[in-house]
Structures are given as structure tokens and as C-alpha cells.
Amino acid sequence: MYLDEYIYFLIGLAVCALFSAYASYKVSSTFRAYSGVRCQSGMTGYDTAKKLLAAADAREIEVGKVSGTLTDHYHPTKGVVNLSESTYGSASVGAVAVAAHEVGHVAQKKKGYFPYRVRTALVPVVNIGSRLALPLVLIGMVLDLFSLTPNASIGFTVAIIGVALYGAATLFQLITLPVEYNASRRAKKMLREQGVLTNEELRGADKVLDAAALTYVAALATSLLYFLRFLLVVLSLFGRRRR
């Protein structure tokens, strides 16, 4: 039975790996295609970010530059939208779409978008959980092994707390989906309202942002698979010890 479960896990892992590879290929190829399409407004990623930040009444947010491709991110504690080298100075449809997406996160924070607030609150939990999950499970198993009473459940409780902390990462990925999709919707709306892209160019921006969203779906699927595997292993180990 254990071997069958492990084989199913490996099959699931292979499926997730293939989906992740496809998502990565899709976002890179789509961005590359629209990085070669210059927008008619001539606005770069930097210009777009500054314009949309002003429109969102967030002029206090700075626009920085970081190395790499598609390493763009919003750093809320530092109050800066960091654009990658492939976005910052490029006047392409792809670059403008990515820059607008990051400003979408700024708008979420400013408007108090609930899923964004939840994801932000989960960050320290995920950071702590990633370090404590496995040690707590091991401690729980030791406590259960040397329990003085046959019905003592403290070891199991400690182990389940470890599993729950591990599951916080999966919850984080789950909350990330609506946050990222909403940021893209806000980006498209701002680009349209501010006249940064034409209707034809907006269709290209749609493709870039939709492709990027696939990577978050793949991350959720992989995280969920590992969480279920972790949970089932712990339940199985404690179950066998009870028999």
C-alpha cells in the first residue's frame, strides 16, 4: 500500500513538473514575443510605472531597477516598485504590461484589497513554518515514542502543528492566485484608462499577463501535492504506531 501511494506521488510530481515547465516556457516565450512589439505611445516600463503610480495617487512609491529578466516585484516595506532590466527601459508591449502589473499591487495595498492583506500577513508565518515544520514533526514522533501513557496524544499534536505550519506555504500559494489575477485586472484597466496602450496592444498585454498567471497555478499545484504527501506520511506513521 505504501509503495502504491509513493508511485502515485511520483506520478503527481511528474505532472506538476511538466506543467511548471510548460508555464515557464509560456511566460518566457510570450514575453519575448511582445518584447519585440514597440508600443505606439513610446512609453517605457519606467515611464508606465511612474504614470500609473501618479494616476493611483501613489507618487510616494519609487521606481527602481534590478538585474535579470522578469524579476520585477513590488517591495511594500521599502515603498519601491523594482523593474527588471528587461522591463525598465523597454518601450515594448511586454515591458509595459509587466510594469503595470506591479503597480497593480501598489493599488491593492492602497485600497486595502483583502486577499493582498491576507497574503502579506502570511509571509512571516510561512518564513517561520518553513524552518519549524520538519523539526516539530520529528519532535512529535520522539514524544510519541517515549510517551508514558498509551493514549497520550501530545506527540501527534506537535507533529500536526508541524504539518499545519508546512501547510501555510500552500495557503500562501492559494491566496496568491486571486492577488495576482486582480493585479493584472487592475493593470489592464489602468493601461486602458491612461491611454498607455491601444486596444490592439492591450490584447498583447492580456496574453503576457495571462501567461504569467500560469506560473502561480503551477506553484499552487506543486505546493498542494507536497503538503498532502507530508500530511499523509505523518498520519500513516502515527497510525502504524497506534496499531
Strand partners, 62: 80
Of 32-46, 139-153, 203-217, the range with the lowest mean pLDDT is 139-153
Answer whether residue 184 shows pLDDT above 70.
Answer: yes
Answer whether residue 28 shows pLDDT above 80.
Answer: yes
Domain ranges within the chain, ordered by starting residue: 2-242
How does residue 113 score in pLDDT terms, banded at 50, 70 and 90?
A: very high
Answer whether residue 237 shows pLDDT above 60.
Answer: yes
Answer whether residue 150 shows pLDDT above 70.
Answer: no
Answer whether residue 149 shows pLDDT above 70.
Answer: no
d(CA 73, CA 82): 5
Decide: 162 and 198 in contact? Cβ < 8 Å.
Answer: no
Task: Find all residues with CB under 8 Å of 184, minimum gap 6, and list them.
Answer: 101, 104, 209, 210, 212, 213
Q: Of the candidates 178, 156, 172, 159, which has an alpha carbon nearest to the alpha carbon of residue 122?
A: 172
Q: Taking residues 24-32, what's their average pLDDT?
A: 96
d(CA 44, CA 52): 12
Residue with cell 491566496: 175
- Indicate the DSSP class of residue 10: H
Question: Catalytic residue numbers?
Answer: 102
State the pTM of this model: 0.87
How does residue 227 score in pLDDT terms, banded at 50, 70 and 90?
A: very high
116-143 pLDDT, tens digit per residue, is 999 999 998 888 887 888 888 888 877 7
Indicate the SS3 state at residue 104: helix
Higher pLDDT, 143 or 30: 30
d(CA 177, CA 220): 8
Strand partners, 83: 65
Q: Taking residues 184-203, what's their average pLDDT?
A: 95
Q: Of the candidates 210, 212, 215, 207, which has an alpha carbon nearest to the alpha carbon of residue 37?
A: 207
When the pLDDT of each residue in the chain is averaged and rounded to a whole number, the result is: 90
- Amino acid, res. 157: T
Answer whether residue 3 shows pLDDT above 80.
Answer: no
Q: C-alpha distances in angstroms, 86 versus 69, 70, 231?
A: 5, 7, 41
d(CA 38, CA 212): 20
